[in-house]
A and B are shown apart, each in its own frame.
Chain A
């Protein structure tokens, strides 16, 4: 079970969180012309990386905040966590 550092609450076990997928995906702006390819990339296409991956988790049984977690998908090592509005350098 992972041990995730919620930037709002501190270290909490994985069973308080739910997974939200790739955090690097950016939703196209509303009311903007979007090509089929662009839209498919947003909705469906994911890299499914092996290694360092920035992903979304929601602290559903805690503060209910969505957070970003930098995690190695192969080793499960967690490097850093960020608030939703924090820029990831």
Chain B
């Protein structure tokens, strides 16, 4: 394939490096430095897709981020990515892309029938038609719409690319490397400020790459290259291309997406695909430039109709002619710049200018070059289906209402310029209330809201001289505030051509008897007639018009359509544009990959993983792990082909008959010190703590101020003013914050210090009738007899030379101890326990057996302390002091909390003693009652009782106190189960608690 539309010389591409690529299965060639768009245009390919609603043929409209049409499905290195703008995607060897929105192909599209049926597809069509009958939505409408419309296909494969997040701080962040950004960066950098300069395109320079200007006796581009080269050598400056600042958030936090690898055939080893920068800037200079806006005319969506600035960019940057018979349609001087470029390359354009008699240097130059200029002329409609073949043109009256006689002229492209729209998105996102500037028919930033300043074209200033002057000054002033340096910079001389006033004209009237579609939003297919319908149907607010018609809601976010839409609404409503107001600009400015937003927090990195010091032992001994908050805990230790049920039953049974050991390192631990420590405990726990002797532990329950149980655990008095508190694994962080809250804010007079020691101690629970025998062998020099270390007693011991803390506490309900050593000795402790315990038939047990043991004992845990229960509900009212005050006590007087039939924990056994009851099942009186069947309670935890060898569950049941002996039904619609059950005491095993004291 030849690149028939590539000019001989010129452009900024590297002609030494030819690249091959595929589009819709066909192979083409381009050059390094091309975008997919410029390479396709060089090959004369203008048809790239189909539109969203009518499936009309779509070509290229822009040359960058504003592109509404040329959205493709990209294939790269075995991966695929949807919704890539061909105008932004850089060409690489072997690139493959396909059209989207086409079914079955771009040249023959079934959905295009919508184009002929478009009379039935006006604004709000989706809302009106697809709403009824409701049952049709999932079966018929949605599948059809999804197949016929939609933008590309997301990959269902695992994304092997890597995405990074980076946090950065700087004095001055600059969005955009056009003249304003470069001048601001240079001045600030010279003052020693820490500067980040971000450019979304691969090349720096912005408008200087395509404009015919002179700065300090150099061309604009050479001046820009010189500045960028110097900035790159400065240690206080970060210069980033391919980096789009897409969001301006609170307190001068901006977020930037850097495309690190998208321009390469594959991502380099250890490199990310994209990097998301969170930048906290002291000052922000928004130099994001402006985007040319179209003039609306008939069939203005035909491939070959494009922005005049895009045609110029394709020619000057990429050496590509978008046509050989161009028609330039303009209401200002910019169109002439494009026409002059065409003429310089031997192509004869025709310029239609809506103005009657404009006079300026640029127009004179065009005239001198012999360019055919028609004043007071407009394009009425483009003709041609898949490509522009000709244009209907006509003269227009001074009031822009009457068209003259229609003539048809041959052309192969129509380059349109309706003047410039400042890119105010970032300023608006910062909270800046924008204002309408009459002279340019567009909004510009108003009073700065955060530490931001907008300069140059983004501020509606289109004179290069003024832009450079204000930007150099701003760069100096902003940096001077921060660095206190004041290096004067000479502002270079500027040679530019003066422009004449643009024409306030944006939409060509329809000729009599013609009903051409005149598009405002090219991606969402919103036409002038759609806006008219919305207004006729009573929509007034621009936000409502937007949502009803979908104007500006496509992936280009209305970059080329918003202002023309506003003009139309204001005209029909007979209001001025600022009174209509614009819709809110929200981040992101341009679509950002989900991968970049997620960053490295995927898979096992989505949360931290905490492991106990004994983790490797568990691994070596066939532990099957379970996530317990951020901890990994052994669920059971598999032997042979055992499943969870068999393994946990074996482990639990061994605790009841011999002795087991469980890793309890994950329990939250808080060290509490100070003369008022006992007073603090007395206030946060519901029971009394002032008289706990040294060397004793006590079980405690703490409430929130609303009376709901927050957590439970044991706290031990280590010495006079020193306590060791334990919390549940899940609540460890909350309990610490809770204590700090009361100590710092409510009772600062208490002299107490609290600190988390969860990670400082490794813990092993030794439980079972043989646990004391084992303990005696582990601590031969300590008296661990029932007298020496009674229930709820504490002592320090010597574990083969390692200092250990021994607590006689029990969660399993058996005779049990908890041994703690410093974390580094955790594995040593564990191995010693296993080794010495061998003669007592010790087995390690996991969280599943631990649950079984506590459930059949009726000990409550997280499934009962679920943020909805008070002490009474958990049969813990015996621990609620009547004498002293404590956090949450006053709430326990609420009428619902003291109701006669208050819910309470009970035990539940299936009548057949066989069927396990799913957790979450509801308890009901009558399993045949009509729905909604009144719920009496729910199953909070279930196990297989190893003591009785049948299923056993705990439940929170209304009036549970008086329900013992009742027969109910446990219903689980989710598992389709109805199980007849009997209510029993929650203390199923050892109701008197004799074992723990034995």
Contact = CB atoms under 8 A, between A and B. Distances in A.
Contacts of B252: 3
Q: How many residues of B sit at the interface, in one of the four size bands?
A: 20 to 34
B251 A39 contact: no
Q: Which of A28, A30, A84 has the most CB of B within 10 A?
A: A30
A31 B740 CA distance: 21
Interface string A59-72: 01000111000000
A76 B167 CA distance: 21
Interface string B740-766: 110011101000000000000000000
B737 A60 contact: yes
Contacts of B251: 1-3, 76, 78
Interface of A: 1-3, 13, 18, 20, 27-28, 30-31, 34, 39, 42-44, 56, 58, 60, 64-66, 75-76, 78, 84-85
A66 B738 CA distance: 11
Nearest to B253: A1
A43 B740 contact: no
Contacts of A64: 740
B752 to A, nearest CB: 14
B885 interface: yes
Given A2-B251, A3-B280, A58 B683 contact: no
B744 A66 contact: yes
Given A1-B278, A18-B737, A43-B891, A66 B745 contact: yes
Contacts of A18: 737
Contact of A43 (B253, B705, B733): B705
A58 B280 contact: no
9 tightest Cβ-Cβ pairs between the two chains A and B: A3-B251, A30-B885, A84-B744, A76-B250, A31-B885, A66-B744, A1-B253, A39-B890, A27-B746
B358 interface: no
B514 to A, nearest CB: 50
A75 B890 contact: no
Nearest to B895: A36
A30 B884 CA distance: 9
B707 to A, nearest CB: 9
Nearest to A60: B737
Contacts of A65: 740, 744
B250 A43 contact: no
A39 B891 contact: yes
Nearest to B707: A43
23 contacts: A1-B249, A2-B251, A3-B251, A3-B253, A3-B280, A13-B167, A13-B280, A27-B705, A30-B683, A42-B705, A43-B706, A43-B891, A44-B706, A56-B745, A58-B737, A58-B741, A60-B733, A60-B737, A64-B740, A65-B740, A66-B744, A76-B250, A84-B748
B713 interface: no
Nearest to A66: B744
B895 to A, nearest CB: 10
Nearest to B884: A31
Nearest to A44: B706
B124 interface: no
Given A1-B278, A43-B706, A84 B745 contact: yes
A44 B890 CA distance: 13
- Looking at chain A's contact residues, the main secondary structure is loop
Interface of B: 167, 249-253, 278, 280, 431, 683, 705-706, 733, 737, 740-741, 744-746, 748, 884-885, 890-891
Nearest to A23: B745
A74 B746 CA distance: 28
Nearest to A65: B744
B952 to A, nearest CB: 37
Q: Which of B252, B741, B745, B746 has the most CB of A within 10 A?
A: B745
Contacts of A58: 737, 740-741
Given A20-B741, A66-B744, A84-B748, 14 more contacts: A1-B250, A1-B253, A2-B251, A3-B250, A3-B280, A28-B890, A31-B885, A43-B705, A44-B706, A58-B741, A65-B744, A66-B745, A75-B431, A85-B748
Contacts of B745: 56, 66, 84
Nearest to A75: B431
Nearest to B255: A1
Contacts of B741: 20, 58, 66
B740 A66 contact: yes
A63 to B, nearest CB: 11
A2 B250 contact: yes
B886 to A, nearest CB: 8
A85 B746 CA distance: 10
Nearest to B888: A43
Contacts of A30: 683, 885
Nearest to A39: B890
A43 B885 CA distance: 16
A13 B253 CA distance: 10
Contacts of A44: 706
Contacts of A20: 741
Contacts of A13: 167, 253, 280
Contacts of A39: 890-891
Q: Which of A31, A66, A76, A78 has the most CB of B within 10 A?
A: A66
A56 B738 CA distance: 13
Nearest to B278: A1
A13 B252 CA distance: 11
Nearest to B886: A30
Contacts of A60: 733, 737
Nearest to B736: A64
Nearest to B756: A64
A78 B745 CA distance: 21
A43 B737 CA distance: 18
B479 to A, nearest CB: 19
A54 to B, nearest CB: 12
A30 B885 CA distance: 6
A78 to B, nearest CB: 7
B926 to A, nearest CB: 36
B679 to A, nearest CB: 10
A62 B606 CA distance: 22
A20 B741 CA distance: 9
A43 B890 CA distance: 10
Contacts of A1: 249-251, 253, 278
A50 to B, nearest CB: 16
A76 B740 CA distance: 26
A58 B733 CA distance: 12
Nearest to A68: B745
A13 B167 CA distance: 10
A18 B250 CA distance: 17
A5 B778 CA distance: 52
A65 B741 CA distance: 8
Nearest to B755: A64
Nearest to B682: A30
A4 to B, nearest CB: 8
A26 to B, nearest CB: 9
Contacts of B705: 27, 42-43
Nearest to A1: B253
A79 to B, nearest CB: 13
Contacts of B280: 3, 13
A14 to B, nearest CB: 8
B891 to A, nearest CB: 6
A80 B741 CA distance: 20
B690 to A, nearest CB: 14
B569 to A, nearest CB: 28
A18 B744 CA distance: 15
A2 B278 CA distance: 12
Contacts of B167: 13
A34 B890 contact: yes
Contacts of B737: 18, 58, 60
Contacts of A66: 740-741, 744-745
Q: Which of B253, B705, B744, B746 has the most CB of A within 10 A?
A: B744
Nearest to A83: B744
Contacts of A84: 744-745, 748
A60 B740 CA distance: 10
A58 B739 CA distance: 12
